Each structure stands twice: as structure tokens, then as C-alpha cells.
Amino acid sequence: MKSPSAGFILDSMRMAVGSLWSNKLRSLLTTLGIVIGITTVIGIISVIEGLNTAFARELSNIGGNDTLYIQKWHWASNDWELTRKWKNIEFRELDAIRESSTLCDLVTPLVRTVRTVKYEQNKISDTLVTGVGKNYQEMRQIFPAAGRFLTDVDITKNRDVAVVGWEVAERLFEHDFPIGKRIAVGGKSLRVVGVLEKRGDFFDMNLDRTLIMPIGSFMESFGRYRSLSIMAQPRDRDRVDEAIDELRGILRRVRKVPFGKPDDFAINRIDALKELYDKLTGGLYGAMFGVATISLLVGGIGIMNIMLVSVTERTREIGIRKAVGARRRDILFQFLTESAFLACIGGVIGILLGYAAAILVDALSPVPAQVKWWSVFLGLGFSVAVGLIFGIYPAWRAAAKNPIDCLSYE
Amino acid sequence: MSLLSCTDLVKTYQLGKLSLEVLHGLDFHVDRGEFVAIMGPSGSGKSTLMNILGCLDTPTSGQYVLDGEPVAGMTDSDLADIRNRKIGFVFQTFNLLARQSARSNVELPLIYAGVPAAKRHEMSKKVLEEVGLADRANHKPNELSGGERQRVAVARALINNPSLLLADEPTGNLDTKTSGEIMELFERLHEGGNTIVLVTHEDDIGARARRIVRLRDGMIESDRKAPRSGRDARP
């Protein structure tokens, strides 16, 4: 038994190209299902990969992944009916955690608002203003590009000072050196002591359009009656769950939650954000899987159909080939090559369209999209597989034909 | 020893419940270098015999030995291999691949023989010259005349240097003049040492062969050497 030589494979491919080329329009229409399927696969994988990259980058931007956030709302659910009745989280809770927690070494309060910031005639609206306490810088790992960060003294003395984000500095000061200048935020005058390093975007949220000030000073200006977020950093990466249990105990005691009642606070962690994110991308993957499966199935059936037609049309050709020495497997191989090639054309068109779609999405929407090199191989692999699977039956029919009948076929 | 020998060849077709015996224990031998015409009215079994001789079909019983290889009972794949190596077909309807050039058509058997492309081109060039179509190599069948098409088919049949050239009504679709040209080509090939078996129902075509076998009702009716016509007589 001889196996097909490289030369024969090449000849089969050449024959496949020739035969498909002579039916250009038909071939193209046949591949439509494959095109749609592969476009979907490439497009959605690109979007998900883009989101993944952005997400991973931003997660590292907003601090350690095992930081716990004690807040009045859950990240992963939006059960406002329940959470709005909860008592505010106040300094009492913060002090209790600082005093009693053995498993969290770094704890800081956090409050936020969005304001317009002014310097002389310049102003920048929609700036995220954050009031922070001790340990904030250590926990967030953010650093000044110029000047200094807030000191513990700034914080304990409630000084009217601020560290501004890159974009805020750039837009307000233009040619002036920002350090030492006074800016106005919501009617309050603050002295700039530092400018943060450039950090980029988190999706369409600009992390450089930000201002950080001592929490006491923040509350004097923007109101005392707001719920704090408390960030707590577990000392030991492997004991995060224990740390959560400890925090719950402390908070329930301070907030006097009766035994048997549910918590009236949430302990959020990045993992919860990740769960939310996974839910989102899981949905996307599901949609991709659905659309791709259906269109590849339709595409495959289209290919099978056209190959069956082709086998019938070329009955005489099959007879001739058999008469001059083509074995069953030569014919099988020839038609399989053809259907795989047909599907592959669809795959290539799909990859190009998917690529184009990803570029468009990236350019025209806030969703970042990235084409991964492996998705190209995945797309090609899928289409070739569809071509082979749906090509087997027609090819087998061709191979099984009797040469005498084929030669007398009109 | 004969190039091909059939012993007690029986072929039965099953048509539903009806079994139809087309060849009834035929004995038939051809020596190397012979030029044989198989003649007979339609229904005489000459096509069936032709298909068996060409290894397109196998006998229901009996022996068929081609060039020392027993063909009866061979698998599909072995038959394909025998056809590829030992047999060259010429058909009434030419049976060329319409989308391919004369050269590609001629090279087709070599593809299945696993001959590399460069060697194929070399060989196809040679046989196309032999049938007088060197300048038509790149033409598609629909750009060729009937006689030219049949010569392409002959070139294809010759390219593997087969033991046996089988022609099934090769002039059936050609006018008289072209038929003559094709028959001259066969005579030349015969003189060159090729073994040719030709199926025809036309007496004047059969008369060009050196031996005429007449079939009737699946039996050999007569088998005689043809007297040499004066034109072909050699000193």
C-alpha cells in the first residue's frame, strides 16, 4: 500500500483550486455560513481578549487583588432595595477595625465625589475627588511624578492640600509649575502638593482625571454624612477568608447586628468584581458559541450539499479518473481536499472580516479589541474541520462509485 | 505465454430477482504484440468482455490473467493499480476532462502512478509528439477537433507504457476521414510493438486488425486471423 505522496497531495490541491475556481460564485455563496461563523469567533474572541487585557491591567492599577472593601453595597449584585436601608459606615467602624483586627495590617477609609476643579481661568469638570486616610498610598501603590503624596500629618491635621492626577495637572496648569499652587474644588481652596504618575484608562474611565485629599478636609467641604468605604489589606494572602470572618465579627459587634440577622454591610473584594466580569465574558462566550455553532453547522450543510451536487455533476470525471488508475482513497482524498479547501476559503474570509470588525470595534467604541494570533489558527482549524467533517459523506459517495456506471453516465 | 488469457469466463448480472448471464464460459487469449478486433452485434457481450479485460469489472467465475497477474478476485484498489500500470483506455466518447488542457489530460494516469511533475511533463511531451499534437498541448478539449481529442485520449492511454491498449468503439464518434486517421495511428502503434484490443461493430474498422474475434450471445462465434491487405503487406 502506497500512501499519497506529497506530490499527489499538491496535485489534489491544484485540482481543488481549479474546480472551485470554475464555479466561483457558487463556491463563494457556499462558504457564507463558514464566513459568518468564523467572523463571529474571531470578532468575539478579539473583544474578550481585549477586555481581558484591559481588565488585568486595570486590576493591577487599582491595587492588590486581595484588598477587601467594606462598603454599603455589593459589587456583584445591585439589590438597592436592601442596601439603601443599611446604616452608613462611619469612623466608628474604622477605629474598631484598626483596634481589633489581627489579620489585616493596613486599613484606610475612603470617600468619593465628582467635582469641577478650577485654577485661575482654567477648569476641569467631572474630576473624581477622593478623600483618603492613612495607609492609602501604601495600599494603592500610586506614586507622585512631581512633589509628594499626602503625609500622615496632612491627614491627621485635616490640611487643605491635594495631590492631583496627570490630566488634571496638565489641563489646569498648562505652563505653570503645579506644586504649591492653589486650586478650588467645590468652593474650597486646596494647595497642590503633588502630581500623580500617568495611569491611563480603565475602560472609558479616566484614572488621570482624579484628585486625592485628606479625608477630614474632604468631609468639611463636601459633607460629613456620607458612608465610608473602608479598605483593609489582609496580612497573609492565604488567610483572606479568615480575615473576612474576623472583619465580619468586628463590624457586627460595632453595628450591633442581632444574632441570626444578616449582615448590614458588604465586604467586597476584587474577586467579586472578577466574578461579575466572568459573568459578562461568559455571556459573550456563550453568544459566540451559539452563533458560531449554528452558522458553522449551516455552513457545513451548505458545503455537504454543494459537494453532493459536485459529485453528481462530475460522475463522468470520477469514472475517467478511476479508469486511468485512481483508487477509492485517491478520489476520497480529492473530494475531501476540495471541501476542506472550500471551507478554508470561508475561514480566511471570516478571519479577515473578524479582524476588520475587531479593528472597527476598537476604534469606534470604548471596548478594546485585540486580535490574537492563535485565534487565526483556531478559525482556520475550525473551518478545515467543518470542511472535512461535512465533506466525508460526499467524498465517500464519490469514491464508492462504480467506474463502469460513471463512464456511461450522461 | 499469452499476454492475457481468459479461461471459462462467466459474467452474470443480477437484476432484482432475475440473474442474467452475459458471458457463458468464454475462453480467449491474446499474445503480446497482437492487434485484435472484438466484433459483434449489441447485446453480444462485447462491452462486458471489454470491461473485464480492462479490469473495470471482475468476472463472476472463471480466470483472467493479465501479464502474469490473476485479476479475478482482486480488490478495488488492486484493480485500480492494474489499470494504472498495465492498461490504456481509448473510449468512443473520448472521456477527457473538459476543464483541463490536453497535457493535463495526458498526464492524469501519471498522477495516480505518483510520477513527479517534471517527469510527467517530459513524458507527456513525448507521447503528444507521438500522436502528432505537440503544438496542441495547452488546448482544452473544446478547442480541439474530434480527431484531435481522440488522439489526446490515445496519448493518455499510451503514457504509462501499458501492456494492453483497449479501445472501445474509438471511431464511433468520428467521421470517415478522421476514423481512417485514428486507425492509421493504431496500426502504427501496433507496428511499434503495442498490443491492441479494439471493440467495434463496424466491419471496415474491424478489418484493420490482424485478428477478428466475433461474439454472439456471450460466446465466441469465430476467431480468425485476417488476411493482410495489400497496402499493409510488407516485403
| Pick from B77, B91, B111: CB nearest A328 | B77
Write the DSSP symbol of residue B134: G
- Separation in Å, CA of A328 to nearest CA in chain B: 7
Q: Which of A19, A322, A324 to mutate to test the interface with B (most CBs of B within 10 A)?
A: A324
Order of all β-strands in the sheet with B211-216 = B87-90, B164-168, B195-200, B35-39, B211-216, B219-225
Least confident stretch, A5-14, B13-22, B26-35, B204-213: A5-14
Order of all β-strands in the sheet with B61-66 = B18-30, B4-15, B61-66, B69-70
Q: Which of B223-229's residues contact partners 24+ apart within 8 Å by CB, and which partners? A: none
Residue A308: how many other CB atoms lie within 10 Å: 14
pLDDT the model gives residue B155? 95
Phi first, then psi, for residue A264 (nearest 5°) are -110, 40
| C-alpha cell belonging to residue A98 | 484598626
Do the Cβ atoms of B45 and B215 come closer than 8 Å?
Answer: yes
pLDDT the model gives residue B231? 47
Q: Is B13 on the interface with A (CB under 8 A)?
A: no
**A320 closest CA partner among B90, B197, B165:** B90
Q: Which of B14, B53, B56 to mutate to test the interface with A (most CBs of A within 10 A)?
A: B56
SS3 state at A193:
strand
| Pick from B54, B95, B116: CB nearest A320 | B95
Three-class SS string for A205-268? EECCCEEEEEHHHHHHHHCCCCCCEEEEEECCHHHHHHHHHHHHHHHHHHCCCCCCCCCCCEEE
SS3 state at B214:
strand
Q: Given the C-alpha cell 496500426, which residue does it identify?
A: B187
Mean pLDDT of the region B63-72: 91
Q: Is A404 on the interface with B (CB under 8 A)?
A: yes
Q: Is A338 on the interface with B (CB under 8 A)?
A: no
Whole-number Å distance between alpha carbons of A266 and B53: 89
pLDDT the model gives residue A204? 61
Burial string for B58-78 (b: 16+ CB within 10 Å, else e) reads: bbbebebbbbebebbebebee
pLDDT above 70 (res B123): yes
**Per-residue pLDDT in tens (0 to 9) along chain A, 410 residues:** 445 566 677 777 777 787 778 788 888 888 898 999 999 889 888 888 888 887 777 666 665 567 899 998 887 676 777 888 888 999 999 999 999 999 998 999 999 999 999 998 899 989 999 999 999 998 888 889 999 999 999 999 999 999 999 999 999 998 889 999 999 998 889 999 999 998 876 656 678 899 999 999 999 888 878 889 999 999 888 888 899 999 999 999 999 999 888 889 999 887 767 777 888 888 888 888 888 889 899 999 999 999 999 999 999 999 999 999 999 999 999 999 999 999 999 999 999 999 999 889 888 887 788 888 888 898 899 999 999 999 999 999 999 999 999 998 87
pLDDT above 60 (res B232): no
Angle between helices A6-21 and B102-113 (to 10 degrees): 140
Whole-number Å distance between alpha carbons of A330 and A343: 20
**A187 closest CA partner among A129, A227, A239:** A129
pLDDT the model gives residue A74? 82
Comparison of pLDDT for B147 and A225, the residue scoring more: B147
Q: Do A324 and B89 touch (CB under 8 A)?
A: yes
pLDDT above 70 (res B229): no
| Pick from B91, B99, B113: CB nearest A325 | B113
| Pick from A18, A319, A326: CB nearest B112 | A326
| C-alpha cell belonging to residue A143 | 506614586
| Pick from B77, B109, B116: CB nearest A327 | B77
Mean pLDDT of the region B96-101: 90
Q: Is A400 on the interface with B (CB under 8 A)?
A: no
Whole-number Å distance between alpha carbons of B3 and B68: 7
Write the DSSP symbol of residue B44: S
Angle between helices A328-364 and A32-61 (to 10 degrees): 50
**B53 closest CA partner among B21, B9, B13:** B9
Interface of B with A in 68-127 (CB under 8 A): 76-77, 80-81, 83-85, 89, 91, 95-97, 99-100, 108-109, 111-114, 116-117
Contacts of A320 in chain B (CB under 8 A): 95-97, 108
Whole-number Å distance between alpha carbons of B58 and B75: 10
Write the DSSP symbol of residue A186: T
Q: Count chain A–chain B contacts defined by CB atoms under 8 A.
A: 68
Q: Is A5 on the interface with B (CB under 8 A)?
A: yes
Q: Is A322 on the interface with B (CB under 8 A)?
A: yes
Interior angle at CA A230, CA A210 and CA A97, nearest 5: 150
Do the Cβ atoms of B139 and B102 come closer than 8 Å?
Answer: yes
Q: Do B57 and A327 touch (CB under 8 A)?
A: no
Residue A189: how many other CB atoms lie within 10 Å: 11
- Mean pLDDT value across chain B: 90
pLDDT the model gives residue B233? 42
- Separation in Å, CA of A321 to nearest CA in chain B: 7
Band of pLDDT at residue B230, cut at 50, 70 and 90:
very low
Spatial CB neighbours of B126, under 8 Å, sequence gap ≥ 6: none
Q: Do A328 and B54 touch (CB under 8 A)?
A: no
Contacts of B152 in chain A (CB under 8 A): none
Do the Cβ atoms of A200 and A61 come closer than 8 Å?
Answer: yes
- Separation in Å, CA of A345 to nearest CA in chain B: 21
Q: Given the C-alpha cell 503544438, which residue does it identify?
A: B135
* Length, in residues, of chain B: 235
Do the Cβ atoms of B190 and B14 come closer than 8 Å?
Answer: no
pLDDT the model gives residue A231? 92
Q: Do A8 and B111 touch (CB under 8 A)?
A: yes
Spatial CB neighbours of A388, under 8 Å, sequence gap ≥ 6: A336, A339, A340, A343
Do the Cβ atoms of B3 and B67 come closer than 8 Å?
Answer: yes
Band of pLDDT at residue B138, cut at 50, 70 and 90:
very high
Q: Do B97 and A329 touch (CB under 8 A)?
A: no
Residue of chain B whose Cα is closest to the Cα of A405: B56
As a 3-state breakdown, chain A gives helix, strand, coil percent values, each rounded to 5, of 55, 15, 25
Can you spell out the DSSP letters for B146-210? HHHHHHHHHHHHHTT--SEEEEESTTTTS-HHHHHHHHHHHHHHHHTT-EEEEEES-HHHHTTSS
**B51 closest CA partner among B2, B87, B19:** B87
> Using CB atoms within 10 A of its CB, is residue A279 exposed (0-12), middle (13-18) or buried (19+)?
exposed
SS3 state at A84:
coil
Q: Do A327 and B56 touch (CB under 8 A)?
A: no
